Structure formats: structure tokens, C-alpha cells
Amino acid sequence: MEKILVIQTAFIGDALLTLPMIEKLKENFKNSLIDVVCIPSTEEIFSASPFVNEVLVLDKKKKHKSIYNLLKFAKSIKQKQYTRIYSPHRSLRTSLIVMQSGVRETYGFANSAFFHVYKNLVEYSYAKHEVQRNLDLIGFNYISDNWKIIPKLKLNENSSIKIQTFLAENYLSEKIIAVAPGSVWETKKYPLEHFVEIISHFTDLDYKIILLGGESDKVLCENIARNFEKNVISAGGKFSLVETIEILKNVKLLLTNDSAPTHLGVCADIPVLTIYCSTIPAFGFFPYNKKSFYISYDDLKCKPCGLHGYEKCPISTFDCGYKLKPNIIINKMKEMLSARN
């Protein structure tokens, strides 16, 4: 029996985009056990996967920050005697864990830090979607669109009751749009006043709006909600990642920045419209289910200004956000909503 370890210690979006790879690994090695090394913020995601046996948490910022504790963690990995390691994460820390693991069959990307620790190296193709790149890592031969796998996650009963109660208490039933206005990076955030204008348009059409995000997005969601007397509910910080996916299954459309909610919407398999400010879809993190689209103002010499984004616009204009006018997004949303009817 194969005992497989997947190492993915990147952020939420990257974790969600690793799930199709894990599903296909389980198909390839039917009697295998698949464990995952991840960070605290993504533990919930991998724990909810029906294809994951055990989740091992690497706390890079606290408990395992020092080299000593990292090597101690690596020693605990070695004791589990894995037969294979697949590492979509490309950091030096990950390579050190692989090097200390004692595992012979290891798979990593050719652009990984300290890449020579891997026995099998796979090209990281910048021209592909991240799901495709991860599937390349396990040798999955995809034809046409069969790589567009919707991740599967389990929801516990208590969370299910919590969500149904929330929907009932807020009289949320049919005409619902979700908006996720936050991001870790400021230059990925579409301007607040533009979000307000878009939301105002759809509340005038009798839609109810749910503002979603993590704990760090709570204030932003509340600031947007203050502009409205009714039909806008701020739910920032109220739900876990898996709970958010379940809520999204009840909405007509999700409007979001190029951030983790894009991938939560894909998991819910609903129409997602992703706004690209400082980043671009070509980086390979766009929503890939059939019902979804992305929108971007690209007539700028400064775009993209970076792979992830910045705390503020490097040239202090933020044209990538302000030149993408709300009416363009409103028209695209209307088109998507009409296609559902």
C-alpha cells in the first residue's frame, strides 16, 4: 500500500487548487493513504476533503518558525515512513522537509528552491492554470477540459444547521448575490466606492447582497454595509471556509477580487465574476468552472505590477482599479444572471 504525503503550505487559494490533484492521486492509488502538510489557516480545507487521511499542520510563523523546530517537524515526517511525496509548494522550507524525509520517490517542480532534493522534477508551466500545473506534478494526462475538476469537501451537521439558520433569519431565499470585497493585498482590492455603486444597482433590482470574507475582511464588509439601510448583510468573519462554500451554493452569483473567494465559488460551482486589479488572469488562478468569468482593465503599461500585489499602488494611481468602471462590471453581472434564467 502506498503511503503518500502532499506538502502544500501556501495560502487558501493555493490549497483549494491542490484538491483536484489529491483526488486524482487517490484514483491512481486506490488503496493508498494520503496525508497533507499545510499551514493552520488551510487545515480546515484539507480536513474536509474525503480523499485526505490525516492533516499535519506546519506553523511557519510561530511553532515551527525556527530551524530547530522545523527539523524536529521533518523528523516526525520521517518517522511516518511515507512511500511518496508530492510537493506543489516550492519553498526552501518545503525542500528541507523533503530532504530530511528519507523518502525515495519525491516529486517537485523544477523551479522549486533547492530543487535537486527531488528525485522527479516536473516543469512548472506559467502558461497553464494552477490546477493543470498541479496535475502535471502527478503525471495526470488531461484531454481538453477534463482538468476542470470541481473540488469535493464535506460539511459537518452543525455547520449545515448554522447556515440554514442564517439564511432563514435573514430571509435569504432566491435573488441573492454574494460580494467578497477583501484580499490580503491592497492592490488586489477593487475600490470600496465602486463596490457600493454596484451593490446599490442590484439592491434597486430587489436583490439581496451578502458580503463575505474572513475575520480580516470584517471591517471592510461592515463599512460597505453601512451605506445601505436594507437588503445588504455583512457576514465578514462569521463563517469558516467550508461554511462559506456552502452559503455560496445558495446564491445566483459571486463578485470577488482575485483572491481566495474566487476558488471558494468554484468549489460551490456557481457563477463567479473575478475582478483583476493589479494582477492578471494569465498568472493561472482564474475561476475555471463553465459558469464563471473574469474582468480586467488591461490597457496599462504598469500592469501587472507583481505576482501577488502590494500594500499600495507602486505609482500611486491605482488605475487598474479606478479605470475599471462599475457599469462595465454591472453589465457583465447582468449578462451572467440572465444566462442562469
Using N-to-C axis directions, what is the helix angle for 241-248 and 157-169, rounded to 10°? 50
Query: Would you say residue 325 lies in a domain?
Result: yes
Last residue of a domain, one of 92, 120, 137: 137
pLDDT (tens, 9 = 90+) of the chain, 341 residues, equals 899 999 999 999 999 999 999 999 999 999 999 999 999 999 999 999 999 999 999 998 888 989 899 999 999 999 999 999 999 999 999 999 999 999 999 999 999 999 999 999 999 999 999 999 999 999 999 888 999 999 999 998 999 999 999 999 987 878 999 999 999 999 999 999 999 999 999 999 999 999 999 999 999 999 999 999 999 999 999 999 999 999 999 999 999 999 999 999 999 999 999 999 999 999 999 999 999 999 999 999 999 998 888 999 999 999 999 999 999 999 999 999 998 65
Last residue of a domain, one of 72, 102, 137: 137
Same domain, 176 and 66: no
Same domain, 183 and 261: yes
Same domain, 129 and 168: no
Kindly state the cell numbers that stand for 134: 498541479
Query: Would you say residue 149 lies in a domain?
Result: no
pTM, full prediction: 0.94
Same domain, 31 and 127: yes
Query: Would you say residue 221 lies in a domain?
Result: yes
Same domain, 132 and 175: no
Same domain, 84 and 232: no
Same domain, 181 and 292: yes
Give me the residue label for grid cell 456552502: 246
Last residue of a domain, one of 71, 103, 137: 137
Read off the DSSP letter of residue 332: H
Query: Would you say residue 264 lies in a domain?
Result: yes
CB atoms within 10 A of CB 311: 8
Query: Would you say residue 327 lies in a domain?
Result: yes
The residue range of the domain holding 294 is 163-340
Query: Would you say residue 61 lies in a domain?
Result: yes
| CATH number for the domain that contains residue 8 | 3.40.50.2000
Number of domains in the chain: 2
pLDDT tens digits for range 190-213: 999 999 999 999 999 999 999 999
Same domain, 118 and 174: no
Same domain, 216 and 78: no
Query: Would you say residue 229 lies in a domain?
Result: yes
Read off the DSSP letter of residue 174: S
Same domain, 114 and 37: yes
* Strand stretches in the chain, DSSP E: 3-7, 33-38, 54-57, 84-87, 105-109, 120-122, 176-180, 208-211, 232-234, 253-257, 272-276, 293-296
Same domain, 130 and 171: no
Query: Would you say residue 142 lies in a domain?
Result: no
C-alpha gyration radius of the chain: 21
Same domain, 98 and 240: no
Read off the DSSP letter of residue 212: -
